[in-house]
Structure 1
Amino acid sequence: MMDTKNKGILGRIRESGFSFEGLAGQYPELETLKGVQQNPEYHAEGDVYVHTGKVCSELLKLPEWDGLPKREQEILFLAAAFHDIGKPACTKFEDGRWTSPKHTVVGEKVFRAMAYRGADRFGMGFWERELAAKLVRFHGLPVWFWKKKRTDYGLLRAAEAVPLRLLYLLAKADARGRVSRTPGELEGHGELFADYAKELGVWENAYPFANAHTRYQYFHKEEMPPGAQIYDDTEFDVWMMSGLPLAGKDTWIKENKADRPVVSLDDIRAELGISPKDGSGKVASVAIERSRKLLRRKEPFIWNATNLMQETRQRLIRLFAGYGARVHVVYLEAGYKELQERNQIRKRQIPGNVLEQMIDKMEMPEPWEGYGTEVLK
């Protein structure tokens, strides 16, 4: 019997001979896929667990498989095994059929939270974890990209986070690992996706925008071609912190931006004597007003808060950019056990259930959100 005690999930995948059943035997999180129903029009093969096993098998049969580097094989197989991990939370019977709305968005969060909390068992580096999470997030893109108004936008956004050639392979295995009333249709969409990605120049890497300002404008404005070159009229910088509480944001600011003004929601909350349990409406209002004063003066500053949700970050980035700011997102991460230890010695401890909820809802900053995203671990 193989000794996998000290091996992470990627090593276990290879030593198991890329066996989905073998992986599920060691990672009971995959057992949650059993019994989750699917629309038989697209998934007559059975429940999500059965489908996932077939996807993993089909992945190994792809002609491109043997040519992949070993680590890419392991991460791609991992993504295939967890690609529908969001379905148990999303699946419902509605209007006479089974449906799983937003299961890719939820699946990314579920996988990330599992791998983060179970770092000892998963044994993955940050970038390995995030590549797998983004493959889960975007695995449906090759099927539906052509339905969107801006067909190029979805591909360029995904290419900022994941190689589209890997996404294509995952989508092909997903299409083949099912029994559908329209066999071959989904795979055909995947071929269109591959052709378009190559035409756009994002098959291997992110799109080479003319400059950072053009890149920002493309992802934040309608009907702008990626090949445009926009004059950079920004005037100053704003740094937006992001990360779970106790990840080290305050320390980073002291060590790197001590000479800059800081708008800190925690400091304002303490200043006003408002408990985290009492909500953050008043705190946010004061923080926004203070930031507006700095923005009007075109003065660089740091916005210090958790900023875990993309919607929150984008609302603030639009506000700051409206004053001519270049917004840089700085994400910090500490390990799960380290976070818990820091919380135990903190004067004002964060309730355990609150911290766990934040981990579950966390949305990793994507490279396109601002003028740059820096990740510090």
Structure 2
Amino acid sequence: MSAEPPSRPPHGSVPPAVQETVRELVDLSPVLTELGERFSAAGFEAHLVGGSVRDALLAAGSGAPRVPGDLDVTTDARPEQTLELLRGWAGSTWNTGIAFGTVGADVHGVRVEITTFRADRYDRESRNPEVAWGTSLEDDLARRDFTVNAMAVSLGPDRRVTDPFGGLGDLLKGQLRTPGSATESFLDDPLRMLRAVRFVAQLQLTPTDEVVAAMRDLAPELGRITPERVQVELSKTLLQDSPRAALELFVSTGLADVVLPELSALRMEIDEHHQHKDVYAHSLTVLDRAIALEKADPSAESPDLVLRLAALLHDIGKPATRRHEPGGRVSFHHHEVVGAKLVKKRLKELRYPNDVIDAVAKLTYLHLRFHGYGRGEWTDSAVRRYATDAGDLLPRLHKLVRSDCTTRNKKRAAALAATYDSLETRIAELAAQEDLNRVRPDLDGNAIMEILGIPPGREVGEAWRFLKELRLERGPLPPDEAEAELRTWWSSRNGG
């Protein structure tokens, strides 16, 4: 067996300097100090565990020590005993997870989850464990997902760091490993495979060969996981600073075939410009570029889930619309229409909120429209429609379209950027003149009914839509001109 690298402590060994740093971090939190004192006085153990310890160690290593916001604690106290210890100290408690041994509490504005030592067994037909209380910290840590989450810091007087599976060494080495067999771990809870994907993006860790092999072998097991849980992990991955490597792992292991097969289908689908190895690689590049534009815009929401989903999925209609043309060309006519429908179907199945689904589908539908702009030949009417069709998604559409221009030809890239600059300028000029954010007909419903002498009903709606189209086509009209156009339309509609 090869020797461990010097920077990686042997399993269970934590350097004294790290021990001291973690003790100091724990002592920075009055909540942890008080919690430890209460449990110790009652004769119970209490340990800070999981991501809280991992993040504290990362913060210590970065030279920017901080106490994590939400705290996870494990104890040998049973749930009812934990509730009694929290009585009169916590501002509020909740027991929605008490069947699994977890009691939640808000203490001085800090959220704490306290879980009894567990020694669960899984039935492997669902991800719900047969809950069993454990008797030791080490056994509790052994059932956790990855070694970097299987470390603990005692909240007792000694502040002892427990690391039986070498999580600190893995953190220093930048690798992702399971405490025991990766196959057994993922069979117990297949959601851990998606957590592995997320940790690649969140912590920049590289899974071991064993972990990757188990993910490939067991990817179909994700079918046991509810769509809601899958969606949460996928979203968390996308919202990280640099999700590309994680998404490549997601696809290469076959997890995407189960969760987001439309993404896997983009591989080897050559795009019509022959500028990219395949549409899959192009889509990841668009995502990278969209994230960069999002971060560079101080007025934008960041991280922006809607923009990132649209960047990743904007071309998923291409496989279904690919056609081989004369001369060796490949076309994807109307892939934006097909793609918008596929986006709606997939995101609905993943239980995304309706507003997210509608926004991502609309961005997918609109992402090609700019390419009809040419060198600025659009009429003011077309520019108005571009802006009003996008509505409040316009800032995101700007970023998506710019990100989608990934040509490696520097002259063409500069020309596309300049052309889009000119479109944005025209939109801004028209918006200043006409308030494009609220384009409405020049006459409202009451005026329509008075002019035409009709009661409320379908015909008023038809007249309103006619006037809105007129407004988009010609811009704001004086009331008398709008009235004349309305009367002419009404007369022709009724055979006059």
**TM-score, L = length of structure 2:** 0.41
| 1:190–1:233 CA distance, 2 compared to 1 (3 A) | closer
Change (3 A) 1:199 1:104: same
Match status 1:136 vs 2:364: yes
Q: Which residue identity is paired with 2:339?
A: G
Could you tell me how far 1:200 is from its partner in structure 2? 2.0
Aligned position for 2:290: 59
1:90 pairs, out of 321, 333, 348, with 321
| Counterpart in the other structure of 1:106 | 338
CA distance in 1, matches of 2:269, 2:377: 27
Aligned-pair identity in percent equals: 19
Q: How many residues align?
A: 232
Q: Residue 210 of structure 1 corresponds to which residue in structure 2?
A: 442
**Where do 5+ consecutive residues of structure 1 fail to align?**
236-317, 325-377
Corresponding residue for 1:163?
Answer: 393
Q: What are the Cα deviations for residues 23-55 of structure 1, in whole angstroms up to 9, with x where unaligned?
A: 65452320111111123xx34222111111111
How far apart are the structure 2 equivalents of 1:11 and 1:232?
55
2-structure distance, mates of 1:106, 1:56: 20
Q: What does residue 152 of structure 1 align with?
A: 383
Of the structure 1 ranges 125-134 and 2-11, higher mean CA displacement relative to structure 2 is found in: 2-11
- Aligned pair 1:186/2:420, yes or no? no
Separation of aligned partners in 1, 2:402 and 2:337: 20
**CA 1:82/1:199 → structure 2, altered by over 3 Å: closer, same or farther?**
same
Confirm or deny that 1:81 pairs with 2:312.
yes
> 2:231, 2:471 → 1: CA distance?
47
Q: Render the CA deviation track for 1:204-263: whole Å, top value 9, x for unaligned.
A: 83435434568622554598412125349999xxxxxxxxxxxxxxxxxxxxxxxxxxxx
> Contact between 1:104 and 1:139, CA under 8 Å: does it hold in 2?
yes
- Verify: 1:13 aligned to 2:238, yes or no: yes
Cα 1:65–1:169 change in 2 (3 A) is: same
Q: Are the aligned partners of 1:218 and 1:226 in contact in 2 as well (CA < 8 Å)?
A: no
Change (3 A) 1:17 1:152: closer
The match for 1:37 is 270
Specify the structure having the higher radius of gyration (Cα). 2
**Change over 3 Å in CA distance of 1:74–1:58 after alignment to 2:** same
1:27 equivalent in alignment to 2:254? no
1:196 aligns with 426
Counterpart residue type for residue 183 of structure 1: A
Q: CA RMSD in A?
A: 3.7
Structure 2 distance, partners of 1:49, 1:144, is: 24
Instruction: Return the alpha-carbon distance in structure 2 between the equivalents of residues 36 and 14 of structure 1.
Output: 26
Structure 1 residues 133 and 75 mapped into 2: Cα distance closer, same or farther (>3 Å)? same
Quote the Cα distance in structure 1 between the aligned partners of 2:250 and 2:298: 20
Against the structure 1 CA distance between its residues 178 and 207, is the aligned structure 2 distance closer, same or farther, given a 3 Å change threshold?
A: same
Q: SS at 2:412's partner residue?
A: coil
Cα gap change, 1:215 to 1:143, in 2 (>3 Å):
farther
Give the whole-Å Cα distance in 2 for the aligned partners of 1:16 and 1:6: 20
SS in 2 for 1:163: helix
Tell me the amino acid that sits aligned with residue 394 of structure 2: L
